[in-house]
Amino acid sequence: MSINLNAHAFAGNLIRSKTPKPNDPLSPASVYQSLKTNLLQNPENNSPPPPSNSPLFKVLPFRKGMPLASSSVTGDDDVPSWHLGWISLSDCKGFLGKCGVDLTEDSLVYLGSKAEEDVVYWAIDVSEEDGLVPELGTKQFCFVELRTLMVATDWADSSAMGELAIAGHARALLEWHSLSRFCGHCGEKTVPKEAGRRKQCSNELCKKRIYPRVDPVVIMLVIDRENDRALFGRQSRFVPRMWSCLAGFIEPGESLEEAVRRETYEETGIEVGEVVYHSSQPWPVGPSSIPCQLMVGFFAHAKSLEINVDKEELEDAQWHSREDVRKALAVAEYKKAQRTTATKVVQMCKGVEKGQSLSADFNVESGELAPMFFPGPFAIAHHLISTWAYQDAPTDGAEADSKQLSSSIPNL
């Protein structure tokens, strides 16, 4: 079945929806000073306690791009679920201390806050501290690939989707910090500023400001309206029978619409006319060299129909009818794939399973295998495809309750 969401995976991050003003007690500048004060506390040398109005600090450790997570099984149906592995500032300081590492304010990156709970959230990269893994493992925590958590997330659970968005934001920031350790202008080391929200060159003669990187990508479903079909591509890295939308990075000096037309022609030889915007999605699960892509989704209407595949870009490209696409969506059991992966996360946190391949989880189908399948509901490609496939079809109650991503798309 197809799934329509009110928000894409990795969007809807509630702790960063609004940045407090500089004079707000939960602003990055204010909490950074409070953080410094808290880290100076040492019961052994009778240092003064932190101010009574100091907010509560929660820290999310990452290791090689993987957030710390825990898991649980709840309800009568034994439904597995995962949670981010937040630890207190004092616990983080204690864990690192056992590894011989002093926790400093510049090693933490500000993520956001919840004013109603007086809580401030931070992330930290602990990739170099091997001793933390067994220490946290004794508490049923483990570091899990963000892609695994993405597939394991119950998209009907707004709280779980919110945690996934926080994890994606944190990973993107930490990976950017890792990539921007030196100034691209003069080569000197950079230092964090504004609680890790930006960096600055340490060279007094340079002082270049450096901000987090976002790489925009256009992703498009190319439509042949006359023959009621859509164009799908296959990359060599895809698992067997998987097809998806075309996509490509935006080049300097071109508009989004121009990027759609250029990428489509370069990859398949198809010329595109009208381009219609659908939605956008943060995508922090690409390679570490590209910390956060922004997927900007479009429908593109074909002006030509003969395919000429660029084999350096794609393994293959084909037209598929709306009827065939509906059939493929109908047999793909995305919910079963989600629960299977969530169960694996539970096993990992218990120490049963340390690694896994998710190829099979993208292709869980009932009955006879379909000739093709598409990315799951965690990807914007799924929503581009299902919006087009079911545009004129009657919807059941579940689909009718969540049309926000697929409304107001004309003449597909």
β-pair type (198-201, 272-283): unpaired
Higher pLDDT, 196 or 396: 196
pLDDT for 356 equals 44
β-pair type (215-224, 293-302): parallel
Q: Could you say which DSSP state residue 408 is in?
A: S
Answer whether 97's CB lies under 8 Å from 107's CB. no
pLDDT for 358 equals 42
pLDDT band at 2 (very low <50, low <70, confident <90, very high): very low
pLDDT band at 42 (very low <50, low <70, confident <90, very high): low
Distances from the Cα of 207 to the Cα of 173, 174, 186, angstroms: 20, 21, 10
- Phi and psi at 114, nearest 5°, equal -125, 105
Residue that is written with structure tokens 């429908």 in the block: 299
Average pLDDT over the chain, rounded to whole?
86
Distance CA 272, CA 250 (A): 16
pLDDT average, residue stretch 45-70 = 81
60-74, 190-204, 366-380: least confidently modelled range = 366-380
Res. 122: pLDDT tops 90: yes
Higher pLDDT, 4 or 200: 200
DSSP string, 313-379: T-SEEEEEEHHHHHHHHHHB-HHHHHHHHHHHHHHHHTTS------TGGG--BSSSPPS-B---TTS
Q: Please identify, in words, the CATH class of the domain defined by 28-180.
A: alpha beta
pLDDT for 46 equals 53
Residues in the chain: 412
pLDDT for 401 equals 35
Answer whether 55's CB lies under 8 Å from 119's CB. yes
Q: What is the pLDDT of residues 190-223, one digit of tens each?
A: 999 999 999 999 999 999 999 999 999 999 999 9
43-52, 125-134, 319-328: least confidently modelled range = 43-52
Q: What is the pLDDT of residues 245-285, one digit of tens each?
A: 999 999 999 999 999 999 999 999 999 999 999 999 999 99
Residue 354, burial from CB neighbour count under 10 angstroms (0-12, 13-18, 19+): exposed
pLDDT average, residue stretch 97-112 = 91
Higher pLDDT, 61 or 359: 61
Higher pLDDT, 14 or 19: 14
Higher pLDDT, 137 or 114: 114
Residues of the chain with CATH 3.90.79.10: 215-353+371-390
Q: What is the pLDDT of residues 162-185, one digit of tens each?
A: 999 999 999 999 999 999 999 999
Of these ranges, 27-41, 105-119, 176-190, 388-402, the one predicted with the greatest mean pLDDT is 176-190
- The sheet with strand 209-210 has its strands ordered as 190-193, 198-201, 209-210
pLDDT for 88 equals 93
Count CB atoms within 10 A of the CB of residue 226: 9
pLDDT average, residue stretch 70-81 = 76
- Phi and psi at 372, nearest 5°, equal -155, 160
- Phi and psi at 187, nearest 5°, equal 90, -5
Count CB atoms within 10 A of the CB of residue 360: 12
β-pair type (316-321, 229-234): antiparallel
- 215-353+371-390 falls under which CATH superfamily? Nucleoside Triphosphate Pyrophosphohydrolase (3.90.79.10)
Of these ranges, 28-42, 254-268, 354-368, the one predicted with the greatest mean pLDDT is 254-268
Answer whether 310's CB lies under 8 Å from 340's CB. no
pLDDT for 402 equals 36
Percent of the chain clearing pLDDT 70 (strictly above): 85
Res. 354: pLDDT tops 70: no
Query: pTM of this prediction?
Result: 0.88
Distance CA 10, CA 286 (A): 13
Distance CA 89, CA 84 (A): 15
Residue that is written with structure tokens 């090693």 in the block: 107
Distances from the Cα of 313 to the Cα of 8, 84, 233, 309, angstroms: 26, 36, 10, 8
CA 272 to mean position of chain CA atoms: 29
Answer whether 376's CB lies under 8 Å from 362's CB. yes
pLDDT for 260 equals 98
DSSP string, 108-120: EEEEEEEGGGTEE
List all residues 6 or more positions away from 33 whose beta carbon is below 8 Å from its beta carbon.
Answer: none
pLDDT band at 332 (very low <50, low <70, confident <90, very high): confident
In the Cβ-directed half-sphere of 253, how many Cα atoms lie within 13 Å? 0
Higher pLDDT, 42 or 287: 287
Higher pLDDT, 369 or 120: 120
15-24, 112-121, 209-218, 226-235: least confidently modelled range = 15-24
Residues forming beta bridges with residue 221, ordered by sequence position:
299
